[in-house]
Structure 1
């Protein structure tokens, strides 16, 4: 069965079962069938709970159709009552009218509980979210239980279980006492929840006010006195763009700071010792104008970037999250920044050729400090298998067929690689694959099906080539250790949902501990499966750089993956799905000139593998060294040194700007005094 059919079936299975349960429940009520009524109610309730647990997007979509969980639960209970009336006879209608009134009271209590949860939520929502900052002066209290604060639908289903159970028991026994007791218990639970939430609204139990939180933040800024920082805004899937700059930012001279705009992003930032603040409102963001912050680096462009660029006291550098020959790497928006930092001469030339208004004097070559961990090329594959990393990029926003190879060539490339008995394939798709073009998502799903099938065939041929059982135990231990280190910084999930400050006490050294644990985890990961086994690598771990270090060959598209991989000087190939002849393709995209070019049919894979296994047949070795220098700049001075020099220069420009502002302000004082005005404290920098 095709992957898209299975995906659609999985998506619509629960809603279909839920709809059928209501239909069967109605039939059971009309026919006065106790077994039918009980079975359909249990199935419907279980499906509703599963829907809220595993398919929240579908539950939200049902709500938009006015089939909210409240409506579904009310219909379910009323069908039960209607069935009871049919089962016990018409003379009991008055008795069961009381049960209906009890259910209505329970629904009213649920609505009151929801209203209070929203009110508590608002009182606990602070204007600043932080990590790695001591927020103990705010005396934050623990959040209420997650069931009370997060999903009102889940709360209704859980609180309504006693009433549903009571109604079902009454249907089986004929005694209305069970239904009354169940409804009373559900109402009592709702009353307890209301009481717990009301306690949170007492004056002594409320968190600090927004103004108090901002006063604390400004006091912390004055004490910490940040000088350099990183600004980031984006969707949850784009967090990797900021995470790749955490290490370089931590090595900058001065006191670094990370500034975010989306509350959810605070948890998406990887482990770091750098203080993190999230300021969702523009008015609160503007408080940075009077801080000691001199410069911010920007790994990406976003709609909210223009807001921080309005602060005249801070200089801004666009560093991008990767460099490639795509037009998106030369966005005209870069004109808004004071400086554009590129890896090497290729980046400078790219902006000059793009002619998007970037003055060459504003471009600074800093190298790629993230690539220090990439191991250099050592020659032919050491073992019996050639490890090939296929890392296609995503389809992009402009509909260009040459953006990604996954649609036209992906399956051919993978099929050809899997056909070679000496290849071990690592498939790492871009996180955004399929987000724009469904064909890319479908191709990605089919490729991920091909790899387990190939592994099944190899397992039969290599029954004795398995890692020791201790390897799996080691991976489990390292995984648990890494999870502990990366999650213990945060409060309980309810606090995260309530948007409180996530970490009240900083823990210096955590980033180093996480880095050590990550290295140990990666070693355990690669040792946990046989050398012949193909892998689909998705998620944050292992990183693409970790895959670089175990790969003998990279197959990719025109993207920053090629530029970063060149740090190793290992062989690579680029898939050409642009429709251009090979020479035109090489001329258009300079990153291609030191690698093999693959046609969409992947017919060049055998010759490519031969050149990797026999380095004397590798005709691109010298070209890779030259291209590495062109793309990433010289190795001396190191990239970290060049990054620091660029940061110092931008900080000096900020100081010079401040000095000029001070001179202009002082020269205006006599005119202000003559006019009878007073000197505003904003004329003097903190």
Structure 2
């Protein structure tokens, strides 16, 4: 029988858009109930209600006083309204968006305030004096017109100062960079209207009090003068000689810089503000390569998030600008993370791409299927290679290269049991993750029990360093984190002991480190001004930062009592600095455990997954050399005893073997293997380019005449340091 034809879909079936709307509504409701917003503190809500009530009452009183008329009430209400604006802008900034959404923004409020003052003056004055106030009304209208003109011109100025390329550590003096106009003119229309309009408001109030129109005229004139000066300042910025270089001029300059610098290896990064650490951890390893490195970013704000480095930094927000890298000498891009914008740069056929990740763990996120989009995947050791094979996400084993973890050179090796009166224990749990797996973090189910057990030992000094994202998904994790911190504070209040004498060394080291790592920008500086101040390459700055960081860490730990527990949440000291101070780590299944293995010190992992210990060890290779702790923390006392008495530690050899399995061999060093992998991939990229040129020349006879081949690099040029 002939095969039956597919049935046509009936037009009476439910329409898909409605179903999609229901699905979106369901997802929104699910997110709403799964991630409830934290209620505002009572004090903050009371302050917001008070400010709102103050402004509403002031405007109501102004209206009543203008209609009666009642001059004392009008003046008092005007003063209260201006004071309310000051409180709003100084302490209640979030309420500004609430007023704006209610169509009661600063412009509307300011116009209403002055209108009520003028109405009150007209009611007080005699009929024949109404013509006296007509020029004042006209002046106010001109002032508001100037305000709108300033806002329009500020948009034009911001556009001229938004360059297609943002850089650091690159001489950009040819782009006519300049300092930014005052933020009051460029980016703060609410502040500007309040400040420039204050003389007019004060003059109108004085006229209501004294019945002298000259006071109002003087106030309005001063407001007009301020607005004209502000508009003139912005208009001068639009002159050709005062504007930065245009878009095409900047792109031509960037192409010339690429041709002159001749980069070979780049670190490509795109992400949110809190993810900058993922790129920063690779800067030192990138700087030590036998190559000409460059950091390629996609978000403008990320330029200032990159740590102090001597490497040139370029930010290419647009895809069209990014594609100019295809014609450069760049050969390899290193990717420490996946992002939506990664797919854009993968389209460049002349480059080779490798994924290095920003940390390795036994979690599924370490085997993301996105990894198969790269030419190679670089991992620390055999464990990650096996993990990709077992995950079956499409990564070919031939594309996996073991390079070690160059960052772990800063982790000091095990030097024996604790020699002082206190053992330092680092509790560094990870965050709850997006998938809701209870085994992701121990904070919720085991954190308080673990901390209580550690604090019960008088010979323990606890360092608590939670993940920065703790509590961002599950409010229970955030609440447990706060309770843990309170436990530590209470334990410190019960402890006493000698404190180091304050000699100012920490303050001196902090000031020196801040000087090297924190750019001294004005609060009103924009990207062009920052680019101007950071255009001169500062050779040796990274080495100076490294020395200053080491000095700061020594001064920091020396400034703390040996017996005092610490909650470490700032960027300094780093996690690796805490590794070097700790005798024992307690953590979760995360890359923290893999990195800590570089020290060879004992560690423990909390099992909150609900799995039995045998299955837990079998499921997560990083746990195989760890002491597994249950949520009730029943094994903490025995664990501490093995740290104090190494002869009872039966996991020494297991840790050494697991270290080799996770991080690879000790020799050659990770940096050497990392550099060798970079050189091999660069060679592959050059060979690929040569084959493509030959193929194009064969397929298009006129190719040789219309597009000259780029000059070939010598080996000395390819490996020259920047």
Task: Identify whether the pair has TM-score above 0.5, normalized to the shorter chain.
Answer: yes
The structure with the largest alpha-carbon Rg is 2
Of 573, 578, 603, the match for 2:609: 578
Distance verdict in 2 for CA 1:197–1:612, change over 3 Å: same
For 2:138 and 2:480, the matched residues in 1 are separated by: 54
CA contact (8 A) 2:171 2:536 kept: yes
Query: Aligned with 1:140: secondary structure?
Result: coil
Q: Which residue of 2 aligns with 1:239?
A: 276
Q: CA shift at 1:175, angstroms?
A: 5.5
Query: Who is 1:527 aligned against?
Result: 558
Whether the aligned pair in 2 keeps the contact of 1:49 and 1:157 (CA below 8 Å) is no
1:363 equivalenced with 2:400 (yes/no): yes
Question: Aligned partners of 1:420 and 1:167: how far apart in 2?
Answer: 71
Contact kept? 1:129, 1:502, Cα under 8 Å? no
Residue 58 of structure 1, CA deviation: 5.3
Q: Residues 226-247 of structure 1, C-alpha deviation per residue, up to 9 Å, x if partnerless?
A: 1111100000100000000001
Of residues 326, 333, 350, the one that matches 1:296 is: 333
Partner secondary structure for residue 586 of structure 2: strand
Change (3 A) 1:101 1:483: farther
1:352 to 369, 382, 389: 389
Residue 437 of structure 1 deviates from its aligned partner by 2.8
Aligned residue for 1:652, secondary structure, equals helix
Report how far residue 614 of structure 1 moved: 2.7
Mean Cα deviation higher: 125-134 or 13-22: 13-22
Q: Deviations over 1:337-369 (max 9, x none)?
A: 000000001110110110101111100000000
The answer (yes or no) to whether the contact 2:521–2:530 under 8 Å persists in 1 is: no
- SS of the residue corresponding to residue 543 of structure 2 reads helix
Which of 19-28 and 202-211 deviates more? 19-28
SS in 2 for 1:387: strand
- Over aligned residues, Cα RMSD in angstroms? 2.8
1:439 aligns with 2:470: no
Give the deviation of 1:644 after TM superposition: 0.8
- Tell me the distance in 1 between the aligned counterparts of 2:632 and 2:119: 64
2:639 to 573, 596, 608: 608
Contact 1:130 1:502 in 2 (8 A): no
Alignment correspondent of 2:371: 334
Relative to the length of structure 1, the TM-score reads 0.90
> CA 1:140–1:375 in structure 2 vs 1: closer, same or farther (change >3 Å)?
same
Q: Is the 8 A contact 2:376 2:401 kept in 1?
A: yes
**Would the alpha carbon gap of residues 681 and 43 (structure 1) be closer, same or farther in structure 2, given more than 3 Å must change?**
same
Match of 2:84 among 40, 44, 56: 44
The one of 15, 18, 31 equivalent to 2:48 is 15
Alignment partner for residue 59 of structure 2, among 19, 26, 39?
26
CA 1:5 to 1:289, structure 2 compared with 1: closer, same or farther past 3 Å?
closer
Task: Supply the distance in 2 between the matched residues of 1:71 and 1:416 (Cα, whole angstroms).
Answer: 60
Return closer, same or farther for 1:71/1:569 CA change in 2, 3 Å cut-off: farther
What is the 5 A alignment of 1:586-601?
A: 586-601=617-632
Deviates more, 1:235-244 or 1:16-25: 16-25
Residue 404 of structure 1, aligned match among 433, 441, 450: 441
Task: Describe the SS at the equivalent of 1:389.
Answer: strand
Hey, what's the Cα distance between the residues in 2 that align with 1:81 and 1:594?
A: 80
2:292 matched to which residue of 1? 255
| Secondary structure of residue in 2 paired with 1:494 | coil
Distance 2:447 2:109 in 1: 44
Q: How far apart, in 1, do the equivalents of 2:576 and 2:109 lie?
A: 49
Please list every run of 5 or more consecutive structure 2 residues that lacks an aligned counterpart in the other structure.
Answer: 1-36, 713-722
Query: For residue 421 of structure 2, what is the aligned residue in structure 1?
Result: 384
Q: Is the 8 A contact 2:74 2:117 kept in 1?
A: no
Q: Which residue of 2 aligns with 1:630?
A: 661
CA distance in 1, matches of 2:132, 2:494: 67
What secondary structure is seen at the aligned counterpart in 2 of 1:601?
coil
- C-alpha distance in structure 1 between counterparts of 2:137 and 2:642, whole Å: 78
For 1:409, what is the secondary structure of its paired residue?
Answer: helix
Distance in 1 between residues matched to 2:85 and 2:402, nearest whole Å = 61
Shift of 1:526: 1.6
Q: Is the 8 A contact 1:14 1:47 kept in 2?
A: no
Q: Which residue of 2 aligns with 1:681?
A: 707
Q: How many residue pairs align between the two structures?
A: 668
> What is the CA–CA distance in structure 2 between the aligned matches of 1:103 and 1:603, rounded to whole Å?
75
What is the rounded CA distance, in whole Å, between the counterparts of 1:494 and 1:554 in structure 2?
43
TM-score, normalization: structure 2?
Answer: 0.86
Structure 1 residues 383-392 or 547-556, which shifts more?
A: 383-392
* Cα shift readout 1:604-630 (whole Å, capped 9, x = no counterpart): 333322332332332322221111111
Consecutive unaligned residues of structure 1, counting only runs of 5 or more, are none
Aligned-residue offset at 1:584: 1.6
Corresponding residue to 1:536 among 567, 580, 585: 567
Q: Give the CA deviation at 1:537.
A: 1.7
Distance 1:645 1:352, change over 3 A: same
**Secondary structure of 1:469 counterpart:** coil
Match of 2:193 in 1: 156
Question: 3-state DSSP class of the match of 1:356?
Answer: coil
Report if aligned partners of 1:548, 1:565 keep a CA contact under 8 Å in 2.
Answer: yes
Indicate whether 1:372 and 2:409 are aligned: yes
